[in-house]
Amino acid sequence: MMTMEGRIHSIETFGTVDGPGIRFVLFMQGCALQCQYCHNPDTWDLKGGRALSVKEMVDEIEPYIVYYRRSKGGLTITGGEPTLQAQFVEEVFRECKKRWNLHTALDSNGFCEPENVAGLIEATDLVLLDLKHIDRDKHIALTAQPNDRMLRFARYLSDIGKKVWIRHVFIPGINDDEEDLLNLGRFIGTLNNVEKLELLPYHTMGIFKWEQMGKAYPGADFRSPTEEESARANELIQQGIAEGKAGRQAPSAIAAGADRAASSFATATTVDINTAAFEGNRANHR
Ligand code: SF4
């Protein structure tokens, strides 16, 4: 298994915004979505990047282990979409657990089937789940795919009690509709496992990648939210979470078969507005 190869986009050795503590962040190649605001369109091609074995990958992490352990950090694998190379990611996580008992986080868009990633999820301590839009049609417009799989994956993680931070890139005019924000909260309010919700205000720092690739940036009309707009979104999501806990369902969750009676143990109570995560603290990114 140590010789199994994965296709890697890049690594970051001192990540501070993708999970707790200081983290090694591994960006995998490949993504089946086409988010209009994507900051890494050069990760989309599953055949791009470079090939590394599990052993080579874990050896790259080793020199920095002391920092990750002291800061209660660990390893985050993101992309692209890491579940497209689930077996490789699982092996890297398992090896890091075996060698150093390292904390493992998977940053996923949730576009996967639970039966294909069960082993990977078992080796994962924390899932950072990116929910792009709660409305199915608007999700298709934004990412080129419907959100049914993402909602069902979120439900699966709740059912097995896997710890989750939900992340939501917030863009005025795209996902700031009152009912959508309430529905997002209502869905989250029916999950049992959400430790944190991070609202990531949109910004334009990723445009240069599209220019480098000679592609027109589809989000040319997008703008960053004001602090007031982010605060309003926060309030609406909180209100929705309270309604979800009280049993009110989001229509898209029902349509996707991801609805469920609210649990009295639902844990999502706070919304963090995390400007750093979407800006990407990428000083050590290579
Ligand atoms: S899921 Fe992430 S990597 Fe994939 S297109 Fe969307 S933003 Fe880009």
Q: What is the pLDDT of residues 36-67, one digit of tens each?
A: 999 999 999 999 999 999 999 999 999 999 99
Most ligand 1 atoms within 8 A of CB, residue of 7, 40, 140, 142 to mutate: 40
Residues within a 6 A CB radius of ligand 1: 31, 33-35, 38, 40, 43, 79-81, 109
The residue contributing the CA closest to ligand 1 atom 8 is 38
- CA 70 to ligand 1 centroid distance, Å: 31
The residue contributing the CA closest to ligand 1 atom 6 is 35
Atom of ligand 1 nearest to the CA of 80: 3
d(CA 15, CA 19): 9
Instruction: State the Rg of the chain over Cα.
Output: 18
d(CA 230, CA 247): 25
**What pLDDT, on the 0 to 100 scale, is given for residue 264?**
44
- CA 272 to ligand 1 centroid distance, Å: 21
The residue contributing the CA closest to ligand 1 atom 2 is 80
At 127-175, the pLDDT tens digits run 999 999 999 999 999 999 999 999 999 999 999 999 999 999 999 999 9
- CA 240 to ligand 1 centroid distance, Å: 26
- CA 165 to ligand 1 centroid distance, Å: 17
Measure the CA dihedral 50/56/61/62, to 10°.
Answer: -160
**What pLDDT, on the 0 to 100 scale, is given for residue 260?**
77
- CA 263 to ligand 1 centroid distance, Å: 31
* Closest residue by Cα to residue 190 from 142, 136, 251: 251
pLDDT under 70 in the chain at which residues?
261-286
Q: What are phi and psi of 35, to 5 degrees?
A: -65, 135
Q: Which CATH superfamily, name and number, covers 5-279?
A: Aldolase class I (3.20.20.70)
Looking only at the bridges linking them, the beta strands covering 194-201 and 5-15 are unpaired
**What pLDDT, on the 0 to 100 scale, is given for residue 208?**
87
* Closest residue by Cα to residue 10 from 71, 77, 62: 77
**What pLDDT, on the 0 to 100 scale, is given for residue 2?**
86
> pTM of the entire structure?
0.93
